């Protein structure tokens, strides 16, 4: 890590904290040590844990080395070919042509196979890496945290595109560097044997070229990073229009949407202009550099040829060797543009991994304690039963250790946590100034109700928002919900009713106090916005359980649909296996009823219902709540409708001075 990274950020005189932060990040992005660290962090796991990775890499390296050796053989054939021409030696000329054909035909499979094996390896690596990142992304609800934090933009683009370019470019670049080294040794020997002076001129020429290129092109790394971000922002705005086409059409929001999309495109366009301007400036240098190469060796060696001390073939071989060595030594000059785009991708992937592992790292004490107590092993599936579970399910820690091995998992937790703390300190210290006075970022203490009981005990709960300001929503709320009891949370809009449910689900953790609740597997949350997954009607009903693992029979699913008055849905759409865009074709009330059916199929011990009957008529609402009461499961609802009181026996009023729980019988409805 650079010294810059550790320096605390100072507030810009004009108070423009965001600009200052961006400038700091841009500076960090150009730090080669940071890039190297990120690259290595991203690349190492596949090498160590990818199935067959070592064998495949060795195979590609072997083919590459053979290919490199072949180019030396071709250089000698070509030398003799030119010498034959020079000497007008017809038999030698035809011998060389025959030799060339034989070598080419035997080398052809190797030349072709090398590229194929390299592409295949890159693809396998991409597959492995994408699956690993998807695992990390969904573990411990990282997708949700990423979305909430807003610090990692467009994770979808990073997963869908950056991984692909990372794996293919890394591999190509690794092979290029490796083969360049081999090439360099081979052709340096040839060139030194022809004329050592030429070799030294070449060395000096390429060193100066590399230094100038790096200095001129440094800025392009950050521009490439921003380009990826701006392109992804642009694409996302288009996707949002597709997802919300109907709402936009009702509002007649076309002009506003077009304006916003054009604005995003404009930002990408302006950055691209900057990028091509810098690329043009760099090209002035790199083009001159590559043209001079064509005559430089001739200028040096031609006097020897004119003096008759050098054959034409040797002259041409020296030219070829010069070309090879120069392109080896000029890797950075020639590849700078693609390298800077590559570093931008590495940075974006690294940023996401850093975010994820900082969260894993936060569990270090939890995992460490379990490991220390020898109660925890990567394969222990019951490790979190009834134990302290500060951030929700802790299965991800196990996956992490499974992936990296026990010791390395701990080492990585520690290392990454430290680095992230340092990095965040430097880039975000100014943001801390935005915290509300006295705000302390402590966490709510969550425990699991013993003996699998569906009881909830909340004590002195103070809840804060997860953004950097950590605004307090409510303070010192306490209540107890016994098995089978039914609590209604009411209060003015924005007081934190849904957020209280988020705290119960472990989605929001900032604040104080304790929450004791059943295991998440025993609870079923119906969120305010109905959600339909991509897939068949059967998949909607058993969600989130995969169809293959779902215990519910078709008859049970049909009964659930009947209970929510959707018994005709399968025949309407063509059966339970029919795949449709459910959010698009079902009305909001139907989506809410489908969600209720999902709850019935899920058979939880405790249901958490966030305004999930707001779009239903009172008869449907009555039917659904009555069903829940008849099967005797407890629930916590959030809602505004007075009609809801009759289905609950407790009410918690948020937003009032005294945030207490009272029994409904004592409460005027």
Ligand X SMILES: Nc1ncnc2c1ncn2[C@@H]1O[C@H](COP(=O)(O)OP(=O)(O)OP(=O)(O)O)[C@@H](O)[C@H]1O
Nearer to ligand X, 1 or 615 (CB): 615
Q: Contact region for ligand X (CB under 6 A) — 236-244, 304-312, 492-500, 596-604?
A: 492-500
Nearer to ligand X, 367 or 636 (CB): 636
Strand partners, 456: 481
Where residue 11 falls (left for φ over 0; alpha for ψ -120 to 50; beta otherwise) is beta
Q: Contact region for ligand X (CB under 6 A) — 13-21, 53-61, 451-459, 493-501?
A: 493-501
Nearer to ligand X, 217 or 511 (CB): 511
Report d(CA 262, CA 328) in Å as an integer: 43
Q: Contact region for ligand X (CB under 6 A) — 1-9, 171-179, 491-499, 586-594?
A: 491-499
Compute the least distance from the CB of residue 470 to ligand X, in Å: 9
95's tokens: 């011998």
Compute the least distance from the CB of residue 448 to ligand X, in Å: 24
Nearer to ligand X, 71 or 498 (CB): 498
Q: Does residue 42 contact residue 354 with C-beta atoms inside 8 Å? A: no
Report d(CA 607, CA 484) in Å as an integer: 10
Residues 9-68 that bind ligand X (CB under 6 A): none
Residue 494 binds to ligand X (criterion: CB under 6 A): yes
Nearer to ligand X, 297 or 466 (CB): 466
Residue 659 binds to ligand X (criterion: CB under 6 A): no
> What backbone phi and psi angles, to 5 degrees, belong to 17?
-65, -40
Report d(CA 465, CA 150) in Å as an integer: 14
CA atoms within 13 A on the CB side of 364: 17
Compute the least distance from the CB of residue 433 to ligand X, in Å: 18
Counting DSSP H helices and E strands in the chain, the numbers are 24, 12
Report d(CA 228, CA 343) in Å as an integer: 11
Candidates 334, 341, 336, 333; CA nearest to 222 is 341
Nearer to ligand X, 297 or 496 (CB): 496
Compute the least distance from the CB of residue 501 to ligand X, in Å: 8
Number of residues located near ligand X, criterion CB under 6 A? 12
Compute the least distance from the CB of residue 499 to ligand X, in Å: 3
Compute the least distance from the CB of residue 638 to ligand X, in Å: 6
Residue 493 binds to ligand X (criterion: CB under 6 A): yes
CA atoms within 13 A on the CB side of 169: 20
Residues 136-165 that bind ligand X (CB under 6 A): 148
Report d(CA 337, CA 342) in Å as an integer: 9
Fill in the DSSP letter of residue 449: P
Q: Contact region for ligand X (CB under 6 A) — 61-69, 103-111, 120-128, 487-495?
A: 487-495
Nearer to ligand X, 96 or 465 (CB): 465
Stretch 444-473: interaction string toward ligand X, x if CB under 6 A: ---------------------xxx-----x
Compute the least distance from the CB of residue 417 to ligand X, in Å: 24
End-to-end CA distance of the chain: 62
Residues 497-516 that bind ligand X (CB under 6 A): 497-499
Compute the least distance from the CB of residue 160 to ligand X, in Å: 25
Compute the least distance from the CB of residue 391 to ligand X, in Å: 16
Q: Does residue 330 contact residue 204 with C-beta atoms inside 8 Å? A: no
Cis ω before 617 (30° cut-off from 0): no
Torsion from C-alpha of 124, 41, 384, 459, nearest 10 degrees: -130
Nearer to ligand X, 333 or 473 (CB): 473
Compute the least distance from the CB of residue 392 to ligand X, in Å: 16
Figure out which of the listed residues 64, 297, 496, 506 binds ligand X, where binding follows CB under 6 A.
496
Judged on CB neighbours under 10 Å (0-12, 13-18, 19+), 300 is middle
Report d(CA 528, CA 613) in Å as an integer: 9
Residues 61-100 that bind ligand X (CB under 6 A): none
Report d(CA 221, CA 267) in Å as an integer: 17
134's tokens: 């998807």
Residue 669 binds to ligand X (criterion: CB under 6 A): no
Compute the least distance from the CB of residue 376 to ligand X, in Å: 32
| Site residues for ligand X per CB under 6 A | 148, 465-467, 473, 493-499
């Amino acid at each position: 890590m650079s010294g810059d990274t550790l320096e605390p950020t100072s507030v810009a005189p004009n108070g423009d904290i965001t600009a200052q932060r961006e400038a700091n990040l841009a500076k960090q992005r150009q730090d080669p040590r940071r890039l190297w660290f990120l690259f290595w962090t991203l690349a190492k796991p596949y090498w160590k844990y990818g199935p067959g990775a070592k064998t495949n890499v060795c195979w590609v390296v072997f083919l590459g080395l053979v290919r490199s050796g072949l180019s030396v053989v071709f250089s000698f054939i070509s030398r003799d070919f030119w010498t034959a021409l020079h000497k007008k030696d017809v038999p030698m000329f035809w011998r060389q042509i025959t030799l060339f054909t034989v070598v080419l035909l035997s080398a052809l499979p190797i030349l072709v196979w090398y590229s194929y094996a390299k592409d295949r390896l890159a693809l396998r690596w991409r597959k492995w890496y994408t699956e690993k990142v998807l695992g990390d992304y969904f573990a411990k609800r990282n997708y949700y945290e990423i979305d909430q934090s807003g610090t990692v933009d467009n994770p979808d683009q990073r997963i869908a595109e950056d991984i692909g370019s990372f794996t293919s470019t890394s591999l190509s670049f690794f092979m290029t560097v490796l083969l360049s080294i081999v090439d360099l040794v081979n052709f340096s020997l040839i060139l030194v044997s022809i004329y050592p002076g030429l070799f030294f001129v070449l060395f000096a020429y390429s060193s100066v070229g590399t230094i100038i290129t790096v200095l001129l092109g440094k800025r392009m790394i950050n521009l490439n990073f921003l380009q990826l971000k701006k392109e992804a922002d642009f694409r996302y705005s288009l996707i949002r229009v597709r997802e919300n086409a109907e709402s936009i059409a009702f509002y007649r929001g076309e002009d506003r949407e077009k304006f916003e999309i054009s604005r995003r495109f404009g930002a990408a366009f302006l950055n691209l202009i900057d990028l091509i301007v810098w690329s043009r400036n760099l090209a002035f240098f790199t083009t001159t550099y590559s043209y001079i190469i064509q005559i430089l060796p001739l200028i040096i060696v031609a006097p020897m040829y004119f003096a008759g001390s050098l054959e034409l073939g040797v002259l041409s071989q020296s030219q070829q060797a010069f070309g090879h060595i120069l392109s080896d030594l000029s890797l950075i000059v020639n590849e700078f543009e693609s390298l800077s785009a590559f570093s931008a991708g590495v940075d974006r992937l690294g940023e996401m991994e850093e975010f994820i592992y900082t969260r894993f790292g936060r569990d270090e004490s939890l995992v460490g304690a379990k490991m220390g107590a020898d109660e925890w092993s990567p394969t222990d599936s019951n490790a979190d039963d009834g134990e302290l579970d500060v951030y929700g399910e802790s299965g991800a820690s196990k996956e992490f250790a499974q992936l990296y091995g026990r010791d390395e998992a701990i080492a990585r937790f520690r290392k990454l946590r430290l680095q992230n703390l340092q990095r965040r300190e430097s880039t975000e210290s100014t943001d801390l100034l935005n915290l509300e006075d006295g705000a302390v970022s402590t966490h709510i203490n969550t425990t699991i109700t013993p003996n699998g009981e569906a009881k909830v005990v909340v004590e002195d709960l103070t809840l804060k928002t997860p953004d950097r300001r950590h605004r307090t929503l409510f303070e010192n709320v306490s209540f107890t919900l016994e098995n089978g009891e039914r609590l209604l949370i009411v209060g003015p809009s924005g007081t934190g009713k849904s957020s209280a449910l988020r705290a119960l689900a472990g989605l929001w953790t900032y604040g104080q106090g304790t929450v004791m609740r059943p295991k998440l597997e025993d609870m079923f949350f119906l969120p305010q916005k109905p959600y339909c997954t991509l897939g068949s009607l059967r998949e909607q009903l058993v969600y989130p359980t995969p169809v293959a693992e779902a215990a519910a029979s078709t008859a049970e699913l049909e009964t659930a649909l009947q209970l929510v008055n959707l018994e005709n849905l399968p025949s309407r759409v063509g059966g339970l296996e029919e795949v449709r865009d459910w959010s698009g074709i079902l009305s909001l009330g139907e989506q809410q009823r489908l969600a209720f059916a999902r709850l019935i199929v899920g058979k939880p011990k405790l249901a958490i219902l966030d305004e999930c009957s707001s779009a239903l008529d009172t008869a449907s609402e009555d039917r659904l709540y009555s069903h829940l009461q008849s099967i005797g499961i407890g629930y916590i609802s959030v809602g505004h409708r007075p009609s809801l009181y009759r289905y609950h026996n407790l009410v918690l009023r948020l937003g009032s001075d005294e945030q207490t729980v009272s029994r409904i019988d004592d409460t005027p409805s």
